[in-house]
Amino acid sequence: MEDRQVETVSTRALARLRQNGWLAGASCAAIIAVSVAGQVSGYVAAFACLAVLAVAAMAPGRETEAAVQPVRLVPEANPLEPLSAVHLAAAVADPLVVFDAYGAVVHANDAARRAFDGMRAGLSLPLRFRAPEMQSVIEGALAGDGTVLSVDYSERLPVERSYHVTASPVGHDTGLYVLVFRDQSEARRIDRMRADFIANASHELRTPLASISGFIETILGPARNDPKAQANFLGIMQEQTGRMSRLIDDLLSLSRLEMKPYLRPGQTVDVKETLEAVISSLTPLMADTGMALEREFGEGSFLVSGDRDELFQVLQNLLENACKYGRSGGRVVVQLEKAVSGGVHEVVATIRDFGPGIPQEHIPRITERFYRVDVETSRTQKGTGLGLSIVKHILTRHGGRLTIRSEVGKGSSFAVHLPIA
């Protein structure tokens, strides 16, 4: 209110100054002329002119209606007004379907047409979505009081997708309603992975722990005075504690990798030198298993960007698996070469064994955590079920990949592809 009054007073003063400007101008001209003639000083002339202008601004005059009106700012037009509902629906990333009071589709955005085959104007939603939960939410929206309804819904084909669906009216008394499908498939998959991981980790730890607990009870009870049995049981307990220790180490390693999956390492690593170090570290294991190693290394350097310790872990894991699970073949071939794939120059390190091989149905899942082709064989070889999962995470972090080829009875081949530095 005060701002408006000040604005009005200022406007009135300017109007009066304009109306009495001829008198103020003439008076100032006379004062300046006298000053030039030397009758008064310049300072006195300036003050006299200011006084004349102040009197002119305060003097009464004829005020037009326009002069006393406060200045009003014209609001800008709403930038959303030119946009149509179709434009707004197209900007929504989630599938969105507008339907009428008969349940027929009026409009479906691009995301809805990609997610649901055959989604088009005129399609009956109750016929398209026959699941009871979708029937219920559509009927509730049509017969409801304008409240927002929601339900969880899953599409099985062509791939399983999970959605959280909300239904609500469009505006007031328009006769139109909208369904919005929020895709929750990735969140559901992560929840299942987390639950499976906890269950598998608990099982893997519980088994050796139960074994150790049982042997302790035996040593304290029936074998209290049997040194030979005690020595046997203590050996088994030591083996089981080693198994738990390896599992915990792998879990910690996997956890660290998952916390930094997109941090690209900045070092330069020579894959040939790293592979030679891995071979040297596993020489005792190859001697114990009777495996013969064959090298097929290309000429020159094999430099990649990465973390040497992590790449050492990848190559060690693959070579150790070849020695353990492919021992029936009697030999392992280690190849190192350069190749071009999809326009990308790569260093390719391949470790091949000639053991029993892996059935094709297991290959897509073999890098999952705790997934085993043969549970008994894996535990006999002191495997934790996390090795290939760690390999996959390290290679993802390095911008690389792992390719697996295998044929039952002829062995397996694991190839590590890394971009050349």
Of 44-53, 198-207, 395-404, least confident by mean pLDDT is 44-53
DSSP 64: P
Q: Quickly name the fold that domain 187-259 has.
A: Helix Hairpins (1.10.287)
**Cβ(97)–Cβ(112) below 8 Å:** yes
Q: How many CB atoms lie within 10 A of CB 238?
A: 11
Separation CA 4–CA 12 (nearest Å): 12
**Is the pTM value of this prediction over 0.75?**
no
Q: Using 50, 70 and 90 to split pLDDT, how confident is the model at 193? A: confident
Q: Quickly name the fold that domain 268-419 has.
A: Heat Shock Protein 90 (3.30.565)
State the span(s) of the chain assigned CATH 3.30.450.20.
85-183
Q: Using 50, 70 and 90 to split pLDDT, how confident is the model at 122? A: very high
State the span(s) of the chain assigned CATH 3.30.565.10.
268-419
pLDDT value for 33: 45
**Token reading at 122:** 């005129």
CATH class of 85-183: alpha beta
Q: Is residue 233 pLDDT above 60, yes or no?
A: yes
Q: Is residue 42 pLDDT above 90, yes or no?
A: no
**Is the alpha carbon torsion for 203, 204, 207, 212 positive or negative?**
negative
Q: Is residue 210 pLDDT above 50, yes or no?
A: yes
State the span(s) of the chain assigned CATH 1.10.287.130.
187-259
Q: Is residue 46 pLDDT above 50, yes or no?
A: no
70-79, 241-250, 256-265, 294-303 — most confident range: 294-303
Separation CA 164–CA 415 (nearest Å): 41
